Amino acid sequence: MPLLISKIEGRGNGIRTAVVNTSDVARALSRPPSYVIKFFGFELGAQTSISEASDRYIVNGAHDAPKLQDLLDVFIAKFVLCSACKNPETDIIVLKDGNLTRDCKACGQRTLIDPRHKLSSFILKNPPSSAKGKKKAATASAHVGGGVSPLTINGTGTEGSGEDGAANGADVSGATNGADGEDGDNSDDELTRRINAEASTLPELDDAADDDDNWAADMSEEAIRARQKEVEKSLAVLNIDDDDEEGADDVRYTDFGEWIECTEDATDVDIYKKACDLGISTKHRTVQVLAQTLFTEEIVKEIPEHAGLLGKLITSKNHEKALLGGIERLIGLQYPDKIKDVPNVLFKLYDHDLVCEEVVTKWGSRASKKYVDKEVSKKVRKAAKPFLEWLEEADSESEEESD
Contact between 41 and 48 under an 8 Å Cβ cutoff? The reply is yes
What average pLDDT does range 380-399 have in this prediction? 82
pLDDT in tens, 287-345: 999 999 989 989 999 999 999 999 999 999 999 999 999 999 999 888 989 899 999 99
- CA angle 364/369/372 to nearest 5° reads 90
The fold of 251-402 is: 1.25.40
Q: Which CATH number fits domain 6-130: 3.40.50.700, 3.30.30.170, 3.30.1490.100, 3.40.50.1000?
A: 3.30.30.170
Residue 186 has pLDDT above 70, yes or no: no
User: What average pLDDT does the chain have?
Assistant: 76
Give percent of the chain above pLDDT 90. 34
pLDDT for position 146: 42
What 222-228 contacts at long range (C-beta under 8 Å, 24+ apart), as own/partner pairs, is 224/85, 224/106, 224/107, 227/85, 227/87, 227/106, 228/85, 228/86, 228/87
Residue 207 has pLDDT above 60, yes or no: no
Contact between 61 and 46 under an 8 Å Cβ cutoff? The reply is yes
Which of the pair, 118 or 202, is modelled with greater confidence? 118
Sign of the C-alpha dihedral computed for residues 179, 182, 183 and 186 taken in this order: negative
What average pLDDT does range 185-190 have in this prediction? 54
Q: Please list, in sequence order, all residues whose beta carbon lies within 8 angstroms of the beta carbon of residue 253, skipping any fewer than 6 positions away.
A: 280, 285, 286, 289
Give percent of the chain above pLDDT 70. 68
Cα–Cα dist 251/293, whole Å:
16
Contact between 78 and 38 under an 8 Å Cβ cutoff? The reply is no
Helix (H) or strand (E) run with residue 357 in it: helix 357-365
pLDDT for position 95: 87
Within its chain, how far is the Cα of 167 from the centroid?
Answer: 43
pLDDT for position 133: 43
Provide the pLDDT confidence category of residue 218 given band limits of 50, 70 and 90: low
Domain map (residue ranges) of the chain: 6-130, 135-143+152-238, 251-402
Helix (H) or strand (E) run with residue 308 in it: helix 299-313
The one-letter amino acid at 29: L
Which of the pair, 258 or 179, is modelled with greater confidence? 258
Pairing of strands 6-9, 56-60: unpaired
pLDDT in tens, 88-121: 999 998 988 888 999 898 888 888 898 888 899 8
Provide the pLDDT confidence category of residue 366 given band limits of 50, 70 and 90: confident
pLDDT in tens, 246-275: 444 568 888 888 888 888 788 999 999 999
What average pLDDT does range 126-143 have in this prediction? 52
First to last CA, the chain: 43
Sign of the C-alpha dihedral computed for residues 167, 171, 177 and 179 taken in this order: positive
